[in-house]
Amino acid sequence: MKDSIKDYVLQLLNAAGIGVNGDKPWDIQIYNPNFYQRVFKGRSLGLGEAYLDTWWDCQRLDQFFERLSKAGIEKKVKSSPIMLLKLALFRFINFQTKKRALEVGRKHYDLGNELFKAMLDSRMNYTCGYWRKAKNLEDAQRDKLDLVCQKLMLKPNLRVLDIGCGFGAWARFAAEHYGVSVVGITISKEQAEYARQYCAGLPIEIRFQDYREVNEPFDRIVSLGMFEHVGHLNYSTYMKRVQACLKDEGIFLLHTIGNNQSYLNTDAWIRKYIFPNGLIPSIAQIAKATEGVFVMEDWHNFGADYDKTLMAWQANFQDHWHHIKNNYDERFYRMWNYYLLSCAGVFRARNLQLWQIVFSKQGVEGGYQAPRLKVYKQELITNV
């Protein structure tokens, strides 16, 4: 039985061009003979936990996962009865209620601001950068912030809602450079406290608040990297809440990771260790939730840029680990590297996307002109 399980796992690896104990950077080095049974039984969760327990290693995890993803290994693995039962639960149980939604704030975004300072750019953007003209992470994140402002057609004195405001990067940029006022909401206490200090002195209000609790008018609404925590049973609720808060002539920009197919749950390892209760939406799921609610003005995909962003984050994390390692252990170090590099590989394989979608309530009069190559206009913006 053990030999047949080993042969099965080796066939899957071979299908992706991955060798065992080989000399290629994407080959894996196996240190525990129970590796095969653990992976067979636990699928992606077993693979990830075996890595955390140092049962195997790989010189380039990003290339390893790129090959697994391109080969479609996940689709070749047959679902067990237990996995099918769990899938049925995800279909009917709301794992993103107001109470459950707070879990990702506590378990991920409240891990410690020093960790994110070590990993992110100086503005603390924890979403994909825009690398069209940028040569480094700092420029890519600045260009992303300005691209969003341009797409929202910001002008002075507009009132903007930032759903999932993170550490306050976009709110501060928009207030400083475009003269708008911002209400930012987050379900992370650590982010809220940091954002309040970071945005002090500007027309910005940061709230520890769930999106379902907002009920007031805004000229613009933006959400950068938060929709992944909403869940398929709440997509319609989310969109209707945005519609109710958006003025008739308003514009809504949704920036989210996107899936090529519709799923009801996410990768088991990511769900357990990184983003509890998360779910990556598909085109079909977003379309269904927005049908009859919004006019879709523009759909922009720059998913390949997330590969560059994640690799830059991982390099920063690696370079600054010695400054923060007293707050974490070696298992966390392996977990965080596994998270960043596995995600980079999947984006590089183009199995995950990054979408910026612009919506209006009634259609922009005369048509919407979508910015693409326009990035940070220094001649029009002060306080650089």
Q: Do 345 and 68 contact (CB within 8 A), yes or no?
A: yes
Q: Which residues pair with 36 in a beta bridge?
A: none
230, two tokens: 């909403």
User: Which member of 58, 165, 245, 343 is catalytic?
Assistant: 343
DSSP 156: T
In the residue annotation, 343 being an active-site residue is answered as yes
Buried-state track 329-352, b at ≥16 Cβ within 10 A, e below 16 = eeebbbbbbbbbbbbbbbbbbebb
Q: Do 317 and 118 contact (CB within 8 A), yes or no?
A: yes
Say which residue the tokens 């379902």 belong to: 212
- Give the Cα separation of 94 and 114 in Å (integer): 32
Q: Do 129 and 296 contact (CB within 8 A), yes or no?
A: no
Q: For every residue of 287-350, which 3-state class applies, written as one string?
A: HHHHCCCCEEEEEEECCHHHHHHHHHHHHHHHHHHHHHHHHCCHHHHHHHHHHHHHHHHHHHCC
Question: Comparing C-alpha atoms, which of 161, 173, 75, 163 is closest to residue 125?
Answer: 173
- Give the Cα separation of 215 and 244 in Å (integer): 7
- Give the Cα separation of 71 and 195 in Å (integer): 41
90, two tokens: 């995800």
Q: 205 φ, ψ to 5°?
A: -115, 125
Catalytic residues: 343
